Amino acid sequence: MTEQFDGSFTQQEPIPEEAIAAATEVMRHGRLHRYNLAAGEAGETALLEQEFAAFTGARYCLAVASGGYALGAALRAVGVAPGDPVLTNAFTLAPVPGAIAALGARPVFVETTEDLVIDLDDLAARAGAARVLLLSHMRGHVCDMDRLMEIADAAGLIVVEDCAHTMGATWRGVQSGRHGALGCYSTQTYKHLNSGEGGLIVSDDADLIARAVLGSGSYMLYERHLAGPPLDAYERAKLDVPNVSGRMDNLRAAILRPQLARLPEKLAAWNARHDTLEAGLRGTPGLRLVERPSEAVRIGSSFQFLLPGWSGDEVRALLAACAARGVELKWFGAAEPAAFTSRYDHWRYAESDPLPRTDRILAGLIDMRLPLTFSLEDCGLIARILRAEVTRIEAGRSR
């Protein structure tokens, strides 16, 4: 009998009861705005910033309205201006080049390796052409951060890290987001913490985080940031930074704080599911797994594999066969964007030089969400379905 999967690839875990209770309390007292506080009250947003700074080991943290806003705020803080070239990964999602283009700056894409990280040789060749690198740790894959920072330091390149998919991931024990000048995170529903929308920025640089706080719309209430820099950092910048309001509110922060306390447990659960899928697919004819270096600990909240040399028709046949058996796959080689999945040559606002290595990789790149609502048994079943369908199509290709 042909096995079938009947789970949902978009169904997340429920919000924890303690988070619901905390959010209800905020709604009861009505002080949703982060600066609307009772006497002696710290506020949920300020407490979240303090706790997230401690989680990452950063000195400072700012909570904002979305991950995309976090990217834009970080780029404004480091002084990206209209017309500036900004280096970034060719393999990423649309909000990354979108944050650059929204400032009137120009995305300059860097090639991708078969391990789905930024091509450091190509980065080294391009590093002198820009002042800023917006580094996307796309789908949780972390590159050799030691070499990347050597390249950046040698070229005078400021690194802003997009950690939307790597909250809690590490390189040689250092948290993702802690190598560059600023690290940006997302708490959108499909990320590692879920507030629907939301973002966080961390930094050890007092002047940069002060500019981000002021830009987020603090007015002159910045002293209420428990994870903010010394007041003199604000004083130096307060008359020069435009207000681009994008604050997080106390309601979303209340939902997030109990989730943050549970995050290490969730990260282990995601990696167990990823490992189960990987074990079930290893050695499948025609399928290449994405290997990660021993120095990196990634968070397996999604799963990717490559189909080297497959034609578009063969990939489409696999997607259709898996969908018929309940397994929802995304393909980065499709001619048109689909839902959240698009690639650098779809973004007409960001013209690019040809990137043949990235094109070859994306042509056979398959992506799949891995929510914690899946059990380990579910992951084993999905692996068997994928293995069977890939093997069947690969056998036809070999004739």
pTM of the model: 0.97
Residue 49 maps to which CATH number?
3.40.640.10
User: Is the same domain home to 246 and 115?
Assistant: yes
Rounded-to-10 torsion of CA 200, 203, 205, 210 = 10
Residues 254 and 311 in one domain: no
354 and 277, same domain (yes or no): yes
Residue 189 vs residues 32, 56, 76, 242: alpha-carbon distances, Å: 20, 21, 25, 29
Q: E strand or H helix at 48, and its extent?
A: helix 44-56
CA distance 74 to 103: 11
**Beta 170-171 vs 158-162: how paired, if at all?**
unpaired
CA dihedral (57, 63, 64, 65) positive or negative: positive
* Residues 203 and 282 grouped into a single domain: no
142 and 30 together in one domain:
yes
Domain co-membership, 321 together with 176: no
pLDDT for 397 equals: 86
Q: How far apart are CA 138 and CA 330, in angstroms?
A: 15
Which tokens in the block code for residue 376?
């380990």
Contact indicator for 157, 131 with CB cutoff of 8 Å: yes
Task: Flag whether 241 is in a domain.
Answer: yes
Domain with residue 305: its CATH number is: 3.90.1150.10
Pairing of strands 60-64, 199-203: antiparallel
CA gap 231, 229 in Å, rounded: 6
CB count in 10 Å sphere of residue 367: 17
- 342 within domain boundaries: yes
Residue 88: in which H helix or E strand, if any?
strand 85-89
- The SS3 call for residue 171 is strand
The number of domains in the chain is 2
User: Which is nearest to 133 in space by CA: 169, 161, 104?
Assistant: 161
Domain check: are 39 and 135 in the same one? yes
Interstrand relation of 106-110 and 365-369 (parallel, antiparallel or unpaired): unpaired
Position 3 in a domain: no
Query: 220, 237, 261: which is the final residue of a domain?
Result: 261
Residues 72 and 221 in one domain: yes
Planar angle of CA 150, 133, 182, nearest 5 degrees: 85
Sign of the CA dihedral 213, 219, 220, 223?
Answer: negative
Is position 144 within any domain?
A: yes
Residue 377 structural domain: 263-397
- Give the pLDDT of residue 399: 65
Q: What is the pLDDT of residue 15?
A: 97
Low pLDDT (below 70) residues in the chain: 1, 398-399
- 206 and 288 share one domain: no
Closest listed residue to residue 66, CA positions, set 55, 74, 78: 74
